[in-house]
Amino acid sequence: MLSEKAAQDAEFTRCKYLAERCNEAGDYEKALYWSRLPTSKKDPEAIMQRLEILQKMRRFEAAAELASTVLVDADHFLKKAVLGAMTYPLLALGAREGDMAAAFKVLFDAHESGRMHTSIAQWTGQPLQGKSILVTHPFGRFGGHGDAIMLARFLPILAQRGARIVIQCNPLLARLFCAIPCVFSVCAYEDNPPCDFTAPLTGLPHLLGLRQIPHTKPFNIHPLPMPEGVKSVGINWGASWVASYMDRTCALAELMPLTTIEGVQLYSLQKGNYAKQLYPAPAGMNVFDLAPRLNDFLDTANMLASLDAVVTTDSVVANLSCMLGRPTFALVPKLGDFRWGDGAVSPWFPTARVYRQETAGDWSGPISKLTADLEAFLSSTKEP
């Protein structure tokens, strides 16, 4: 017969297993129920799993409450993990409540431990007039290309403090960030330019003391000439990163309803494996492939600025199109990312129209609504 401790351990293991299975199956209510015991035992894996479940259910307040409770006596590694996990939910919650200050503070705290240049003084709000500041964004550690592009809105505000800004970023972003007038120079990750201060791109909103989301358009982009007589619509249906619970991609064939709009030429902005769906394209779908002309994100930005509208899933293309202020029709999964908000309008991207799945994995409804809205939008704009 099992001892009391052995019985408790067995029940703990059973609950943890059931929570994991229900989470994987998408039954989040049951997953939340079974995760209670492991979480109460302060099991790190269980805590992170429960935070994930609450995020999927968009119960950001409950996630924030759990995180604040755990952080009181968590060890360094668990604290770092919890802060990282809470970054996006708190940003969503902050945007919803109209006060981003607390969310920005957590974002800064979560990423402070990942400083790339400990030999350069961390900027904490000191006067910047006549000073240089190295702004870093290590790709993959605190977000991808789309996050860097979205957060570039804070750079003009930093420049107003009188700083000479040097950006350290991924090479694919280099020329795009050079197209920000207030950026003095761009350097590679391995470079160590002499600067007075350093700050993470993700930490700027907190360091600048911002309480609201600014909607600046920092990039100085030059549109390209397009063929006359038709409306040009860019399409992008794949994303480079896809979570098991948030599939941000659709198939090219699912965008077939767009071909019913008269006087439209579709242009593919898709790169990577998803672009293979163009060869051959679905029968009756005429799509011009722009990928060979898109060597980096400045090329993509110039092309986006030239199109009449952009239809895209949640991807770097969506972030860039929105940051350029282009008419963007965004397809968002049922469990969407924080930046798209909860409704048809994004607090981060006011020019975007958001089309969210009602049923996970089913794009038919959102694409049908998007097609009707896109046709109406193109009809209302000046004829080419």
How confident is the model over 272-311, as pLDDT tens digits? 999 999 999 999 999 999 999 999 999 999 999 999 999 9
Determine the pLDDT at residue 188: 87
The amino acid at residue 320 is L
Give the H/E segment covering residue 35: none
Residue 52: its pLDDT value, please? 85
Which tokens belong to 338?
Answer: 């924080």
Domain range list for the chain: 4-97, 132-207, 231-380
| Confidence at residue 117, expressed as pLDDT on a 0 to 100 scale | 58
- Per the document, the length of the chain is 384
Q: How far is the C-alpha of 150 from the C-alpha of 155, rounded, in Å? A: 11
pLDDT for residue 384: 44
Q: Answer for the pair 233, 308: CB distance below 8 angstroms, yes or no.
A: yes
Pick the CATH number of 4-97 from 1.10.490, 1.25.40, 1.10.3470, 2.60.40: 1.25.40
Residue type, 88: Y
List Cβ neighbours of 14 (8 Å cut-off, separation of 6 or more).
none
Read off the pTM.
Answer: 0.82
DSSP helix/strand/coil, 166: strand
List, for the chain, all residue ranges whose pLDDT scores fall below the cut of 70.
1-2, 76, 80, 84, 88, 97-99, 106-118, 138-143, 241-246, 382-384
* Structural contact between residues 332 and 314, judged by C-beta atoms closer than 8 angstroms: yes
Backbone phi, psi, residue 353, to 5° = -105, 125
Contacts (Cβ under 8 Å, ≥6 apart) of 62: 54
DSSP letter string, 259-290: GGSTTEEEEE---SGGGGGGTTPPTT--EEE-
**Rounded to an integer, what distance in angstroms lies between the CA atom of residue 222 and that of residue 224?**
7
The pLDDT, as a whole number, for residue 315 is 93
Tokens of 77: 């590694």
Give the 3-state secondary structure percentages of the chain, helix then strand then coil, rounded to 5: 45, 15, 40
Q: How far is CA 129 from CA 159, 164, 204, 311, in A?
A: 9, 8, 17, 42
- For residue 68, what pLDDT is reported? 75
Contact between 157 and 126 under an 8 Å Cβ cutoff? The reply is: no
pLDDT of residue 140: 52
Contacts of 245 (CB under 8 A, 6+ apart): 26, 56, 335
3-class state of residue 357 by DSSP? coil
Choose among 168, 162, 169: nearest CA to 198.
168
* Closest among 91, 143, 89, 154 to 114, alpha carbons compared: 143
**Identity (one letter) of the amino acid at 289?**
D
Select the CATH number that applies to the domain covering 231-380 from these four: 3.40.50.2000, 3.30.9.10, 3.40.190.10, 3.40.50.11900.
Answer: 3.40.50.2000
